[in-house]
Amino acid sequence: MSTPSAFDPAALMALLSGFAGRRVLCVGDVMVDQFIYGDVKRISPEAPVPVVRVTRESLALGGAGNVVRNLAALGGLPYFVSVVGEDQAGVEVRRLLSELHGTDFSLRVSENRETTVKSRFFSSDGHHLLRADRETSAPLAPEDDADLRQAALAALATCDAVILSDYAKGVFGKDLAAAIIAAARAAHKPVIVDPKGTDYTRYAGATVITPNRAELAEATGSPVATDEELINAARRLRQTTGAAAILVTRADKGMTLVEDAAENLAVEGREVADVTGAGDTVVATLAMALACGARLRDAARLANVAAGIVVGRRGTAVATVAEISAALVHTGIAGFEQKIADRDSAAAKAEAWRRQSLRVGFTNGCFDLLHPGHVALLRQARGACDRLIVGLNSDASVKRLKGEGRPVQTAAARATVMASMTSVDLVVVFDEDTPQSLVEALRPDVLVKGADYARAAVVGGDFVESYGGRVVLADLVDSHSTTATIAALKTEGSGRK
């Protein structure tokens, strides 16, 4: 096994910046995840089981649907092909997909099936009590299979990568996987497979197959207890399927990538809370990276960072580009990493500061080339609070706001500079065009912007004032702007030619 080599977070950040708008075809078994919460205060007189008084419930896309959720969260444009039953759960699948930004889909409604629903019961404190499944797992009827095949092959022409998300509920019961893989190979498009079962020959020719440890053992009939055993089993699987790589997901142990060489990728700096759905995040991130032309090794590293984010949360979760960017910054920078956080960690830190009766302030910007105007803004912002959090636009966000050629510096570099400022206590990279959702997550006591903004134009201002916070407009330092600096440099450079 090769020793893990150092990687360049800035290069992976640049890769992330290309995610927006990538079109990925996902074919697979869709489910509805139902979460039911309630109070548990007594045991049933009918049997020794708890009585749950239901207080709330929610629905989410599961199975291959969770892969689509992850693709959308990463800024992709998913095209989803699947089958549902002629039932209320199938209607919910359509509704949930319609709510995902940029997502198109082709759902075959089958009279012969019921939509898979997994109902999970929890006590109010989050203790998992019971799971009840309703599903049809038989192979598709010939007419259903033909419809899915036609939809998938038609969509493939406009997609940059393909995911086959097999949850063994019947979608890939025949030769659908082989037909899609053959068409994708002919079109030189990568295929990522999240597999099930023991017969992986149906995935022959895929670019990457991503079994977990148990699935690898089942598929190969080989022991996988040690690193050496796992790698040997993955190599045998790679040989029998002709896949370019096998990426074994290992829950709290990270992942192992087996190409010609093998490399272990450990979970980066996260306390593992729940590995549910982490495999969906892995295949989505892999697909997006490979769609951008990334090497398999870099795509796997990026997927490992994304998986490290979601395993730190309870239940199925997604990782966003902004969160992965923040994690990369944290991983790649020594000295100031404790001041760089993702959204969830920053919100928890802000709440901890408030419990200490400290006033939490927030300001935001691109901060591309730091100049005296920025320094003055940060100094005034810090003077209005006890702890200052800075929201930093991601590279993709800056490009959308400022145009081609911006940012001059990557988010990793900008976050490093910002974290080195004594006036700044925490830095959070965000991917949206405005910081509204970040403000809502952090709930700052003070929101600071430059005085070139009218109070009514301050994003998040109404929200902060709704719970008693205040908006502060900082005095400006004249004659300083990043745009003007860049223009001056271009003029000077042109004059020297």
Whether the CB-CB separation of 247 and 278 falls below 8 Å is answered with no
Whether the CB-CB separation of 116 and 135 falls below 8 Å is answered with yes
Q: What 8-state DSSP symbol labels residue 203?
A: G
Whole-angstrom distance, CA of residue 61 vs CA of residue 27: 14
Instruction: Please name the residues in contact with 307: beta carbons below 8 A apart, sequence gap of 6 or more.
Output: 249, 254, 255, 267, 278, 281, 282, 285, 319
Q: What are 29's two structure tokens?
A: 């078994």
Instruction: Please name the residues in contact with 425: beta carbons below 8 A apart, sequence gap of 6 or more.
Output: 339, 387, 388, 389
106-123 CB burial, b ≥16 within 10 A, e <16? bbbbbeebebbbbbbbbe
CA angle 383, 384, 388 (to 5 degrees): 80
Whole-angstrom distance, CA of residue 384 vs CA of residue 482: 25
Instruction: Kindly report the number of other CB atoms within 10 A of residue 210's CB atom.
Output: 26
280 is catalytic: yes
* Catalytic, out of 280, 368, 431, 445: 280
DSSP reduced 3-state for 128:
strand
The torsion of the CA quartet 335, 336, 339, 344, rounded to 10 degrees, works out to -80
Q: Which residues are catalytic?
A: 280
